[in-house]
Amino acid sequence: MTGASKPEGPALGVILAAGKGTRLMPFSGRHPKPLLPVLDRPLIEHQIEALRELGVREVVIVIGHLGAEIVRHLGDGSRLGVSIDYVEQGEALGIAHALARVEPFVDRPVM
């Protein structure tokens, strides 16, 4: 095999968590959708746990609507066994825009 080798190791986890969750109003008016409870835990914790079980150790979360609440709850991710970086989407311009905000972090396969 010839050519440049690709980075080896676990994939980078990406979670898009910037939406307003308008279909979940009034709950999502005061709390970001990813922090709403599912089985007594915030939804986003289930997502992070699933990524961790697949070997992901670094996660980038795109935040927007009430994003500071997500950062406050998850912190650096160490409590959940991962390292978390956050990217602010700013204006909600759709999924493609949210993924484009993550591009500077991508140096390996993404889940």
Residues that are catalytic: 23
One-letter amino acid at 11 equals: A
Among candidates 32, 5, 2, which has minimal Cα distance to 17? 32
Among candidates 15, 108, 104, 10, which has minimal Cα distance to 57? 10
One-letter amino acid at 107 equals: D
Q: Name the 3-class secondary structure at 13.
A: strand
